[in-house]
Amino acid sequence: MECIIGLRTDNFCIVAADMRSSRSIVTMKHDQEKMFHFSTRTIAAVCGESGDTMQFAEFIQQNMQLYEIKNGYELTPSGAANFARSTLASALRSRNPYSVNMAIAGFDSKNGPELYYLDYLATLAKVNV
């Protein structure tokens, strides 16, 4: 069973993930990277089907970097979470849905630390203190 954990306080967020990649009772890999830096202030922990998690997280990561290059500033954690949700929702309605769950954490200069949970059905929930 895969596990991601996210904690939010008044001053910071912490996200953690195991490094095991498994299918059913078979462990495929013991050192799978499940943490992705979307920007300098936003990070995500992902779990789900190993191919889907890597492809989806790298897609979001690359699009956030493209956004920063085009506009000259980073997306906020809330913007990153909503972009990931809309991308996942679009994929869910297509023939190739992703089986991905995410905990997205970051720090916004206006709102402080933010933590979001996104499940494979594109349900986004903000975690409050």
Domain boundary assignment for the chain: 4-127
Amino acid at 81: A
pLDDT score, position 23: 78
45 Cβ partners below 8 Å, 6+ apart? 4, 5, 6, 15, 16, 17, 34, 35, 102, 103, 105
pLDDT score, position 115: 97
- From CA 65, how far away is CA 69, in angstroms rounded? 6
pLDDT score, position 86: 97
Over the chain (129 residues), what is each successive 10-residue block's mean pLDDT? 90 92 81 91 93 94 96 95 96 92 95 96 92
Structure tokens at 4: 């991601």
pTM above threshold 0.85: yes
- The answer regarding whether domain 4-127 maps to CATH 3.60.20.10 reads yes
